[in-house]
Structure formats: structure tokens, C-alpha cells
Structure 1
Amino acid sequence: MMGKRVSVTLGTEHFTEANETVRDALLRADTVVVREAFAQRYLGCAMPTGKTLEIHGVPGNDLACYLDGGRIEVFGNAQDQVGNTMDGGCIVVHGRCGDAAGYGMRGGQIFVRDGCGWRVGIHMKQFEDKRPAIVIGGDAGSFLGEYLAGGVIVLLGKPGRHLATGMHGGVIYLKHRIADDEVSEGLVQEPVDEADRALIRSLLERYNGFFAADLGAPVDATGEGFFRLRPATARPYASMYAN
């Protein structure tokens, strides 16, 4: 039935049975409110456009893996690999997330109110009109944007060590400039231009729409004062391959 909302309570249910419960509810409704999530893995896996999960508690690893256009909002923290290889849709986390969020992400958007663990955005990529984006409101662990091939990462807090190691595409927008000797070989750190500010503004306005009430005030969404981290050339590792 279109527009219908149902609620399910997971408690300590094993992740296999928990996912069966959620999938069955999604067959009967467009929005499923999940209560008492206690680290069950794979919730929302491959969920299509038109379906929504509102999760209260802490979902387990691989939340929304292969997400295919659906929307997931977590009212709490999330564990590792949020949005693993997701292809489209939106994930909103009213807290922090663990390691490797957006691993191999191909489309869609992830918004995290607070900080994140290591290797967020690793192997993120884009193709034609699919340009994935991750916005992190707090500090990030080490290796943010590792091997980044495409897409956009916006970081409002401070990055950890080894930022963007192996990055060869895409862009990372930093609210806090890093020291020149911390910029990985083959990358350039520079002030943003008006096109960058417009993109940052659109993402941060959406971030504020999700989190301003949590934070007590919206963050500055003008895009002013950011720095752009990008590959110095279109093929930074061309010398490693035969012509």
C-alpha cells in the first residue's frame, strides 16, 4: 500500500531473522520504522527507490550495502562500511559512523552529523551523471579518501593521517587546511573557486536540513574558507603503466 508506514522491533534478534523481518515489512509499506536495532548487519541492503528505513538504535556493519535508490535515516551511531558499494539513494546518520563508509560507492549521498572512522570513501568512484558524495560533520580517521577515483567528500572537522593516499580522481573539500608536508605526492591543495563553493553550499544546505535541530544551529553553508584537495593531473599514475 503506497505511503503506508509500519514499525518493527528487532531487539536481540539475529541479523538473519532481523533482515527477514525488515524485508517483509518493506513489502507491506514504503516506510519502515526500525526500533531497538542492536548491531544487526545488512539492514537496507539493496533497498530500491521509494523505500525508506528509519532506524532507532545502532545498526551493524554493512548498513545499506548496495543501496539502490532507497533512503535510510539512523537516529544514533552506525558501525563499519555504511553504504558499501551503494549505487544510489541517501543515508543520514544522526551520530558518527565507523570505518570504510562509502567503500566503492558509485552513486547517492551519505550525510554523517559527527565524525567517522578510518578509510571512509575508499575506492569511491563516479561515472557520467553519477557523482556520489559524502559529508562528514566532525573529524575523520586516517586514510580518508584512500584511492579515491571520483565523487565528492566534504569534511567539516579535521582529517587524520595519510589523507587521500593513492587518490587519482574526485575531490575532497576541507574546512581545515592541512600542512603542505601532509599533502600526499601527486595531489594539490588549493583554495576553492565559485563552482566549488556552489557545490559545497548545496551539500551543506542539505546537511543543515538534516542536522541543524540536533546541533542547535546550522553550520555555515556558504562554502567560504574551504580548501580543495585534488589530483595534480588527470593521470597521476600514468608512469606506472606501459603506453
Structure 2
Amino acid sequence: MPVKIKQKTLTAGRTHYRQLNEEIRELVNKGVTDFTIKQCTGQRYIATALEGDLSFDIYGVPGQDLGAFMRGPRIHIHNNAQDGVGNTMDDGRVIIDGIAGDVIGYAMRGGEIFIRGDVGYRVGIHMKAYLEHQPKIVIGGKAGDFLGEYMAGGIILLLGMFSDKPDAPVAGRNLGTGMHGGVIYVRGEMPEAQLGPGLSAQPADEEDFKIIESLVEDYAKELKLDSKDILSDNFVKIRPFSHRPYANLYVPC
């Protein structure tokens, strides 16, 4: 019987994203589980809707919606990432060595996204917990406006440490606008003026710190960072006052 190849190296280069993704799917169907993708130049939808114990090492900058709808694969991007990473992701882990764009983790329902640097706008929008799944996003740098907008579940941990914007606030305007579930943890301080309406910010307690510590240890291990340094400051917990923040805007039936 022929020996099944488990590992495959692909060179993306100028390959059209459809061709690249078709090739990946064909290889998965043949039993390949570990991929190295070199010279990635903005190809979209890599690993979208893939399931199972698959691994991707990506060199270059992948395009939008990487890991969308995926359920299980592990993706390590050895560079920056564009918008929409982990769109409606169910499970798996994405590690990004650099910065990432907007709407990271849109409607994410499980798994983890670990980002070393800054992120753009509306990260974690519509993020939600699903059955036993608890999605998690850790941002090592700073975030743009509307972080955690309409968040319904899961955890966002914002560190503000590894940023190329030293003079910017840790997050932009209206953090957590419309948030009605889940929790956002911020390392250091979070000015009340930056919070969306209906949110409270208070020091993380002992139970919160256990959650933060576990998440930081995973994050630091993946990105080869010092977990003790990350955990050396205080953390703030941000949650909504109500799970129905806009209930009073609707006419009762």
C-alpha cells in the first residue's frame, strides 16, 4: 500500500485564492494534516469550514476570512493578518505573530484567537458562547473602536503591551457598545469615558484572575512571551449591567 503523505508545503505566490483552497481541500481529503504555506500574498478564505486535527503554518500575509466557520484546525500566521479572521469560527486556534485587521472573531462561537500586536475596529463583534464552547480572543497590543460590540458571550483579553502606537489609548471609542453577555478583561486601567453605555468596569477578582492566568499562559506559550511579565499588572473586568441593554427602547406587546 502507498504511504500516505501527512505533511505538505505549498507556495501561494500569485496563485488565485480559489485554486489554492481547492488544492488544500483535495490534499485534506487525501489524508494530509500538516500544511506549510509559503509566500502567502493575500489569498482569502484559507482553512474556511475545515474540520478536525489539521495544522497550518503560514508565511506571508493571508487575506480576509481566514479560518471562517472552521472547526478544529490550528493556524499559525508568522506575520500579519487581514480582516475577518475566525469569522463565525466554531473551534480551533489561530495564532498571529503580528497585527490583525478589523472584525476579528465576528460571531465567533468557540476556539481561541491569539494576536501579538494591535487590531482594528469591531473585533469580537457578535461574539457568543455556544453550548460548552467559550470563544476567547487575546490581543497583545491595542484595539480600535467598538471592541466587543454586541458581544453576547465569550472572553476578550486586551493587554495593550505589544503595540506600535505608544500614544494611543488601549482601546478606541465605545468599547462594548450593545454588549449583553461575556466579559472583557483589560490589563491596567480602562477610562470610563471609553466604555459603551450600560457597562461597568471593576477590578478583576480572584476567580477572574484564575481565568486570566490560564488564558495568558496559553497565549504566552504560543507566542514565546513572558507570562509573568504579562500578569505583573492589575486587570479590569468589563461587563454589562443587563443582558438586555436596550429593552426599554422597544414597545411591549
* TM-score of Structure 1 vs Structure 2, range by shorter chain: over 0.9
Please list, as runs of the form range in 1=range in 2, the aligned pairs for 1:62-211 lying within 5 A after superposition: 62-157=65-160, 158-211=170-223
TM-score (norm 1): 0.93
Q: Matched residues in 2 for 1:34 and 1:124: separation?
A: 29
TM-score (norm 2): 0.90
Shift of 1:60: 0.3
Structure 2 portions without partners, runs of 5+: 161-169
Structure 1 portions without partners, runs of 5+: none
- Give the match for residue 240 of structure 1: 249
Task: Give the direction of change, closer, same or farther, for the CA distance of 1:153–1:45 in structure 2 (3 Å limit).
Answer: same
Equivalent residue of 2:95, what SS?
Answer: strand
Task: Decide whether the 8 Å contact of 1:65 with 1:83 is kept in 2.
Answer: yes
Task: Decide whether the 8 Å contact of 2:8 with 2:32 is kept in 1.
Answer: yes
Q: Which amino acid aligns with 2:154?
A: G
Spell out, residue by residue over 1:161-186, the C-alpha distance to the aligned partner (whole angstroms, 9 max, x if none): 12111111110001132222332221
Shift of 1:39: 0.2
Q: Matched residues in 1 for 2:5 and 2:247: separation?
A: 51
Percent identity of paired positions between Structure 1 and Structure 2: 44
Task: Decide whether the 8 Å contact of 1:198 with 1:223 is kept in 2.
Answer: no
Q: Matched residues in 2 for 1:170 and 1:86: separation?
A: 17
Equivalent residue of 1:171, what SS?
Answer: strand
Q: Matched residues in 2 for 1:199 and 1:76: separation?
A: 28
Q: Which amino acid aligns with 1:31?
A: D
- Give the match for residue 17 of structure 2: 15
Matched, 1:41 2:44: yes
Runs of 4+ aligned residues of structure 1 deviating over 6 Å after TM superposition are none
Equivalent residue of 2:175, what SS?
Answer: coil
Q: Matched residues in 2 for 1:21 and 1:65: separation?
A: 17
